[in-house]
Amino acid sequence: MAQKGFNPFEMAQKQFDKVADLLDLDQPTRDLLRQPMREYHFSIPVRMDDGSVRIFRGFRCQHNDARGPCKGGIRFHPQETIDTVRALSMWMTWKTAVVDIPLGGGKGGVICDPHDLSPREQERLCRGYIRAIAHDVGPLRDVPAPDVMTNPQHMLWMLDEFETIHGAKYPGFITGKPVGLGGSLGRTEATGYGLIYTVREALTEMGLKIAQTTASVQGFGNVAQYAIQLYTKLGGKVIAVACWDQADQTSYTYKKKTGVNLEELLAITDRFGTIDKAKAEALGYERLPGEAWIEQDVDILLPCALENQINAETVQKIKPRVKLIAEGANGPTTLEADEVIQKRGIFVIPDFLANAGGVTCSYFEQVQCNMNYFWTKEEVLQKLDEKMTAAFKAVSELARNRKLYMRDAAYVISVSRVANACKERGWV
């Protein structure tokens, strides 16, 4: 989890301010892009299975829609805050811009722990969330998607509620739906695969063969699992995986020098993403403290869990051998850590470029829903590879030509695209 006192929105604003100075942006544009254009706070009453009523707090932020409808996930998390949602909506604006898809940035959240709710209670919460904002979202305004602790079933309940309220079919309203009910093939793999497409390109530029590299991964959710799958398929070796342990309410790193076997770990992982400690040790995995993932003597670090994981303190633990950090998570690296990483010459693929495969495939899902014609999985992943590769090359080229840190180069491309759209519309 993020440390107490850490504010992701303040970090997102500081990152933006740095690039605004680089671009010499005028004050009105800075003022417009530093804050969400709209945000909604609402209460969601839910009738629980025992007959009692609980009130949940919900949020939706629409950071900027100059380039198209807002786009962004809905998170269910007991520690959800409006500042996290604000930061993520801002990062979504840059994310959709860096891969050049015609969408803006949005994000939503509910303070809750779905592990403590029955499926019926979760359905009522999903429908209540949509009822609260049904007239402020939609396929042409703001398109939600799954995020932390939400899934395709939650999206389908939300879609059904939206269609019931508006009395028509709107399959393009929400993405991350089940395949066969408007979902896209390839969406499950998209974020993890997109991450490794950028890693592949970075290693090529660095003159390294993927088969000769090793990696350490933080996280064992959707992004991490598919990143591990494709990375190992291309010949790379993951030697350590850190994941949350639901029972102990802490995280552990599971290490195997001969390489992590994804299939055997998945076989001993429960629905909360917790790896069975005893079974892992029986399979020859060494169990280390959660933060040990960052201390591994590897070529590549893949933070694929939460924000604020590579900070002023933990960055000092990164081994000299590390050449590449590819951010599968949102906001895993703080500004203080960035300074150290930049001085050490470690190549960074910033979060809103590295993990943009998810929103890119969500965009593909929207396109397919709107034209009512669906592509094969191979077509989806091919288009995803092309989009991610083109975006990576544009950022990398700018970084080289202007001697910029990769994160700054990605921001320069994104912010200038959004700022130009605002100017051309006559907003500033």
Distance of alpha carbon 317 from alpha carbon 330, whole angstroms? 21
| Position 131, amino acid | R
Question: In sequence order, what are the residues at sequence separation of 6 or more whose Cβ sits closer than 8 angstroms to the Cβ of residue 116?
Answer: none
**Contact (Cβ atoms closer than 8 angstroms) between residue 398 and residue 409:** yes
Can you tell me whether residue 330 is helix, strand or coil? coil
Same domain, 201 and 323: yes
Q: Is residue 40 part of a domain?
A: yes
Range of the domain at 301: 188-354
Q: Is residue 380 part of a domain?
A: no
| Position 237, amino acid | K
| Tokens encoding 131 | 């009822």
Q: Extract the runs of DSSP E, i.e. beta strands, from 29-131.
A: 38-47, 53-64, 70-77, 104-111
CA angle 200, 201, 206 (to 5 degrees): 95
Same domain, 92 and 144: yes
Same domain, 174 and 290: no
Q: Is residue 177 part of a domain?
A: yes
**End-of-domain residue from the set 157, 183, 209:** 183
Distance of alpha carbon 427 from alpha carbon 258, whole angstroms? 57
pLDDT tens for the chain, 428 residues long, are 445 678 999 999 999 999 999 999 999 999 999 999 999 999 999 999 999 999 999 999 999 999 999 999 999 999 999 999 999 999 999 999 999 999 999 999 999 999 899 999 999 999 999 999 999 999 999 999 998 889 999 999 999 999 999 999 999 999 999 999 999 999 999 999 999 999 999 999 999 999 999 999 999 988 999 999 999 999 999 999 999 888 888 999 999 999 999 999 999 998 777 899 999 999 999 999 999 999 999 999 999 998 889 999 999 999 999 999 999 998 899 999 999 999 999 999 999 999 999 999 999 999 999 999 999 999 999 999 999 999 999 999 999 999 999 999 999 999 999 999 999 999 99
Same domain, 152 and 236: no
The pLDDT of residue 3 is 52
Comparing CA positions, the residue from 92, 26, 45, 30 lying closest to residue 65 is: 92
Distance of alpha carbon 186 from alpha carbon 191, whole angstroms? 10
The pLDDT of residue 2 is 44
- Positions marked catalytic: 107
Distance of alpha carbon 254 from alpha carbon 268, whole angstroms? 12
**Contact (Cβ atoms closer than 8 angstroms) between residue 121 and residue 48:** yes
**What region, left, alpha or beta, does residue 105 occupy, with left being phi > 0 and alpha being psi -120 to 50 degrees?**
beta
Same domain, 200 and 165: no
Same domain, 339 and 195: yes
Distance of alpha carbon 9 from alpha carbon 80, whole angstroms? 13
Same domain, 41 and 135: yes
The CATH number linked to 127 is 3.40.50.10860
**Contact (Cβ atoms closer than 8 angstroms) between residue 15 and residue 339:** no
Same domain, 123 and 267: no
Give the DSSP per-residue string, 361-396: HHHHHHHHHHHT----HHHHHHHHHHHHHHHHHHHH
Number of domains in the chain: 2
Q: Is residue 229 part of a domain?
A: yes
Same domain, 117 and 207: no
Q: Is residue 48 part of a domain?
A: yes
Q: Whose structure tokens read 């359905």?
A: 123
Q: What letter would DSSP give residue 81?
A: -
**Contact (Cβ atoms closer than 8 angstroms) between residue 207 and residue 182:** no
The Cα-based distances of 54 to 50, 112, 199, 224, 282 in angstroms read 11, 11, 45, 34, 43
| Tokens encoding 364 | 């593909």
Distance of alpha carbon 58 from alpha carbon 388, whole angstroms? 32
Same domain, 314 and 222: yes
| Tokens encoding 393 | 């090359």
Q: Is residue 237 part of a domain?
A: yes
List, edge to edge, every strand of the sheet that includes 250-255: 286-289, 250-255, 237-245, 214-218, 300-303, 324-326, 347-349
Same domain, 349 and 288: yes
**End-of-domain residue from the set 303, 333, 354:** 354
Pairing of strands 142-146, 104-111: unpaired
| Position 344, amino acid | R
b/e 3-13 (16+ beta carbons within 10 angstroms → b): eeebbbbebbb
Q: Is residue 90 part of a domain?
A: yes
Same domain, 298 and 345: yes
The pLDDT of residue 1 is 40
Q: Is residue 211 part of a domain?
A: yes
List, edge to edge, every strand of the sheet that includes 53-64: 38-47, 53-64, 104-111, 70-77, 142-146
The CATH number linked to 269 is 3.40.50.720
**End-of-domain residue from the set 183, 203, 221:** 183
